[in-house]
Amino acid sequence: MNFPASFPATRMRRNRRDAWTRKLVAENTLTPGNLIWPIFLTSGENQKVPVESMPGVFRVSVDRAAEHVAEAVELGIPAVALFPYTPAEQRDEEGTGALNPENLMCRAARALKAAHPGLGLIGDVALDTYTSHGHDGVLRDDYVHNEDTVHILCQQARLMAEAGVDVVAPSDMMDGRIGSIREALDDAGLIHTRIMSYAAKYASGFYAPFRDAVGSNAALRGDKKTYQMDPANTDEALREVALDVAEGADMVMVKPGLPYLDIVWRVKKEFGLPTYAYQVSGEYSMIMAAVERGWLDHDRAMMEALMAFRRAGCNGVLSYFALSAARLLKAG
Ligand code: PBG
């Protein structure tokens, strides 16, 4: 770019002087259509339980799920992402709960599809919400076994798609899972089921409140560094994305969000694909904790963070702020 003019002929502040010009020169927009709202599910009836480490976030029972998302649908949020909470006593080594057609994910998918047929449902494909050791796959000699895990994930993905999940979102970071899941879906005739791959997912400390929300925190044995990415790496993220796209991913995601906007930027630039970021639990809780202490203004911090994702190239953001942000956008 060439900018020959200089001060005082050019005064950058002219365009910032009034609200209407600021609006005219705004380079990016944020609408409810850019937001995906993650929802935590719990067993029982008539439950709406606060998640302690995530102020303003709840786990809801399946019978209340439709009512819980109704306002989000009304406000134009296109999709929700579902995550089940599983207490320790219902977990096992192989995460067999993932393959139960009556699990929370499948029951919620059926209930939500019936109540809100136009709402996109995104289902998490991974075993960490079902395993006693909290890992995303099955352990063989204390190592998360790639192919054995992928074999189970394919069945899990198929099951939730049959229950009404529109987009399966593998968050496990096993190698080759996108291709295998695509094949399993196609073999079952589920050719319209989309895959949003957690393509570049980092071994992050910012997931801690989420693990509390789904009941994995106490369970997790060790860390996830043998499958999730090293926060030091960028080029590797592009290889991950390239593989997932070659295997059939329809959309790709970067996770966490704000600390990884450089990755979002590069992915969007190199591939030009539908690209999403997950503003994860720790990012949400950091803002909320500061808000509770009076150190940050909730609305300003929330909107500024969400706009940053758009500026970096995200088509959309998975955010626990989705409903609050959509409300604020509607209020204008
Ligand atoms: C695991 C999964 C995690 C999140 C989404 N799916 C946690 C992890 O990898 O340990 C984190 C989301 C968040 O922190 O908000 N399948």
Residue at 13 is within a domain = no
**Residue count of the chain:** 332
Catalytic, out of 48, 113, 225, 255: 255
Closest CA to 38 of 202, 217, 228, 257: 257
Q: Count the domains in the chain.
A: 1
Task: Please check whether residue 16 lies inside any domain of the structure.
Answer: no
The protein residue whose alpha carbon is closest to atom 8 in ligand 1 is 207
Please name the residue that has the structure tokens 């999403």: 276
CATH number at residue 285: 3.20.20.70
Over the range 14-24, which residues count as b (16 or more CB within 10 Å of their CB) and which as e? eeeeeeeeeee
Distance 83 CA to ligand 1 centre (A): 9
* Confidence at residue 190, expressed as pLDDT on a 0 to 100 scale: 98
Residue (of 127, 114, 107) closest to 44 by Cα position: 107
CA of 332 to the centre of ligand 1 (A): 32
Is residue 108 situated within a structural domain?
yes
Ligand 1 centroid–CA 177 distance in Å is 17
Written as tens digits, the pLDDT of the chain (332 aa) is: 776 789 999 999 999 999 999 999 999 999 999 999 999 999 999 999 999 999 999 999 999 999 999 999 999 999 999 999 999 999 999 999 999 999 999 999 999 999 999 999 999 999 999 999 999 999 999 999 999 999 999 999 999 999 999 999 999 999 999 999 999 999 999 999 999 999 999 999 999 999 988 988 777 888 999 999 999 999 999 999 999 999 999 999 999 999 999 999 999 999 999 999 999 999 999 999 999 999 999 999 999 999 999 999 999 999 999 999 999 999 98
Structure tokens at 272: 């030009």
**CA 258 to mean position of chain CA atoms:** 13
User: Which atom of ligand 1 is least distant from the CA of 201?
Assistant: 9
* Residue 196: predicted pLDDT: 98
Q: Residue 315 domain-assigned?
A: yes
pLDDT tens digits, residue range 169-226? 999 999 999 999 999 999 999 999 999 999 999 999 999 999 988 988 777 888 999 9
Query: Going by CA atoms, what residue is nearest to atom 14 of ligand 1?
Result: 207
Nearest Cα to Cα of residue 40 among 84, 105, 95: 84
21 inside domain = no
Structural Rg of the chain based on CA atoms: 20
Q: Which domain holds residue 207?
A: 30-331
Report how far apart, in Å, the C-alpha atoms of 130 and of each of 92, 125, 161 are.
Answer: 7, 11, 18
Lining residues, ligand 1, CB within 6 Å:
124, 126, 128, 136, 171, 207, 210-211, 224, 280-281
The yes-or-no answer on residue 224 being catalytic is no
Choose the residue to mutate in 80, 131, 202, 207 for probing ligand 1, maximizing ligand atoms within 8 Å of C-beta.
207
Q: Write down the pLDDT at residue 65.
A: 98
Q: Is 268 among the catalytic positions? A: no
Pocket mutation for ligand 1, best pick of 136, 177, 285, 288 (most atoms within 8 Å of C-beta): 136
Q: Which two tokens stand for residue 191?
A: 């050719």
The predicted structure's pLDDT at residue 215: 86
Residue 91 belongs to a domain: yes
Q: Is residue 4 situated within a structural domain?
A: no
Instruction: Establish if 160 belongs to a structural domain.
Output: yes
